[in-house]
Structure 1
Amino acid sequence: MELLQLQYFLAVARLEHVTEAARSLHVTQSSLSKTIQRLEEDLGAPLFDRTGRKLRLNEFGSTFLRRAERALFELEQGKQELRDLSSPEHRTLELAVTTASTLPQILREFRTKRPHVPIHVQMLSMQEMVTLLHRGEVDFCLSSPPLHADDIECQIVYTDPILVAVPKGHRLAGRSSVSLNEIRDESFVGVKKGYGIRNFVDAVCQSVGFVPKYVYEGDEPARLSALVEADIGLAFIPSTARNAWEPIHYLQVEDHGLVREIALLWHKSRYISGAALEFREVVADYFEALTHSQRAI
């Protein structure tokens, strides 16, 4: 059995399509098909059920996939560890976030400590983030809600109230708080389903008997404030994303405490570089200071 066979098998297993897998690997379809066929011959069992160029993992393939992923995961961790030992300032810090409101300040602080460490950040839905976490393809995730799994470490770093944002001329703009029942007939702007805050807010609203009516659903949380200002709809916005300079008004929710937990997540078996450890310290220090400042208000 060859390493290349395992790499090709993983690509086909994840995409379940020969053409797409060959494109992602930059090889010909015939070369990919022959490699998978040789692997199946070595193992003595078919790994896929085939329909044209589409393939679906069968029972043998699903069983073998878990082992193959674990083997390639460990090899990748070994490569990263050696790379970090030989050139620690050149290994990219891989981050994924479902909540980005605090990220600029955190990255700014990290840059002052490690100015030469490359950083790559992805804004993802919860399911996308979970996939990368389980594969060990990111150093850390900043997520809301938290994720609890056997192979994932989950550190709650902050408890963040969710506020209701209304335009300045709105009937509620003179208030400091509001109940969910008072806004059940309003129109809302928000992120798409699949993002942690959207799923959480919808669930809480449904628990009091209504489903928010969204007139805008997007994947850029930072755009919501501008839409509220334009009187397109109200928005549920975390306190950490509030901007005091924006010409909109924020209300606390009186009942059913709309509070989200922000967590730092990482794979238990992923190699953590010195730079990644320092990033984790920066995150913990940032949210500890934020907690103290909130208590002082």
Structure 2
Amino acid sequence: MELLQLQYFQVVARLEHMTEAARSLHVTQSSLSKTIQRLEEDLGVPLFDRRGRSLRLNTFGRTFLMRVNKALFELEQGRQEICDLSSPDRGSVELAVNTAGTLPAILKKFRGTQPFVHFHVQMLKVEEMHALLERGEVDFCLSSPPIRGDEIECQVMLLDSILVAVPITHPLCDKRSTTIAELKDETFVGLKRGYPTRDITDRICKSEGFVPKHVYEGDEPARLRALVEAEIGIAFVLESSTWGFREGKMKCIQIEQHDFVREIGLSWHKSRYLSKAAMAFRQIATDYFNS
């Protein structure tokens, strides 16, 4: 049994598609098929149920995959630890995020204190980040909602209140706070479904018996201010996005009754080896959110 066979098996098991796995591994499909076949011959059992071109992990495959994941995880931790010992001022940090608003300031500070450390950032959905964490393929996930699990450590970095932004001509502009019920008949501009803020506000509004009427749904939070100022609609916005904000043609109002808060958390695998560079990143992120 060879290490390469285990690495190839892990990818095929995850994708359950030989062509996609070969493309991901940058090898030919015939070479990959032969490698998996040799592994099955070594084990004496098939690891997949094959129906034409489709593959499905069988009971043998699922059982073996759990052991392979643990073995490859430990080998990767060993590699990272050796790299850290041999080059303590260098190394790399792997990040996955779904909330990038705070990231530039954190990375700027990190690069200033760790100039020789390479970092790589992926913008992913929470489900994708969770899978990477469980496989030990990233050092940290910075996400909202925070990722939690039996093997995952989570540090809540920020409780970010959600406010409602209205144009200064709006009747609510004279109020310091409002209720969800008062927003029932309003027209909204906002982010698309799938964004944390949108999912939170949709869920709470639904609990109040209505679905917000959106006339605009986008993926650029910065654009919402211009739309509110143009009186196209009102918007749910994060308090952190208003830091340094000067009221002009728009006002942000507190929401009563509900805990309108978005949690941002930093998560990591409990068993993953954290290099000095990774621990430095965690400290810089913590200091940023505590400042």
Normalised by the size of structure 2, how large is the TM-score? 0.90
The answer to whether structure 1 residue 142 and structure 2 residue 142 are counterparts is yes
Which of structure 1's runs of 4+ aligned residues deviate more than 6 A?
none
CA distance in 2, matches of 1:219, 1:54: 35
Please state how far the C-alpha of 1:285 moved relative to its aligned partner.
1.7
The answer to whether structure 1 residue 52 and structure 2 residue 52 are counterparts is yes
SS at match of 2:91: coil
SS at match of 1:269: coil
CA distance in 2, matches of 1:90, 1:179: 51
Range moving further from structure 2, 2-11 or 173-182: 173-182
Residue in 2 that maps onto 1:292: none
Residue in 1 that maps onto 2:252: 250
Q: 8 Å contact 1:177–1:253 — kept in the other structure?
A: yes
CA distance in 2, matches of 1:84, 1:185: 57
CA distance in 2, matches of 1:50, 1:194: 35
Q: 8 Å contact 2:126–2:147 — kept in the other structure?
A: no
Unaligned runs of 5+ residues in structure 1 are 290-297
Unaligned runs of 5+ residues in structure 2 are none
The 3 A distance-change label for structure 1 pair 214 and 87 is farther
SS at match of 1:166: strand
Q: 8 Å contact 1:167–1:249 — kept in the other structure?
A: yes
Q: 8 Å contact 2:190–2:214 — kept in the other structure?
A: yes
Residue in 1 that maps onto 2:262: 260
Aligned-pair identity in percent equals 64
The 3 A distance-change label for structure 1 pair 83 and 262 is same
Range moving further from structure 2, 146-155 or 112-121: 112-121
The answer to whether structure 1 residue 225 and structure 2 residue 264 are counterparts is no
The 3 A distance-change label for structure 1 pair 28 and 195 is same
Please state how far the C-alpha of 1:230 moved relative to its aligned partner.
4.4
Pairwise CA RMSD: 2.1
- AA partner of residue 24 (structure 2): S
Q: 8 Å contact 1:126–1:194 — kept in the other structure?
A: no
CA distance in 2, matches of 1:174, 1:192: 29
The answer to whether structure 1 residue 279 and structure 2 residue 281 are counterparts is yes
| 1:1-297 alignment, distance < 5 Å | 1-242=1-242, 244-245=245-246, 248-289=250-291
Please state how far the C-alpha of 1:272 moved relative to its aligned partner.
0.6
SS at match of 1:173: helix
Tell me the alpha carbon deviations over residues 246-295 of structure 1, each in whole angstroms, 9 at most, x when there is no partner. Answer: 85321111121201222111111111111111111112222222xxxxxx
Q: 8 Å contact 1:164–1:234 — kept in the other structure?
A: yes
- AA partner of residue 265 (structure 1): S
Normalised by the size of structure 1, how large is the TM-score? 0.88
Please state how far the C-alpha of 1:197 moved relative to its aligned partner.
2.9
Range moving further from structure 2, 63-72 or 184-193: 184-193
CA distance in 2, matches of 1:94, 1:169: 46
CA distance in 2, matches of 1:207, 1:267: 34
SS at match of 1:11: helix
The 3 A distance-change label for structure 1 pair 35 and 230 is farther
CA distance in 2, matches of 1:183, 1:231: 15
Range moving further from structure 2, 161-170 or 257-266: 161-170
CA distance in 2, matches of 1:108, 1:5: 40
CA distance in 2, matches of 1:157, 1:66: 32
CA distance in 2, matches of 1:38, 1:218: 49
CA distance in 1, matches of 2:262, 2:115: 31
Q: 8 Å contact 2:168–2:251 — kept in the other structure?
A: yes
CA distance in 1, matches of 2:46, 2:12: 13
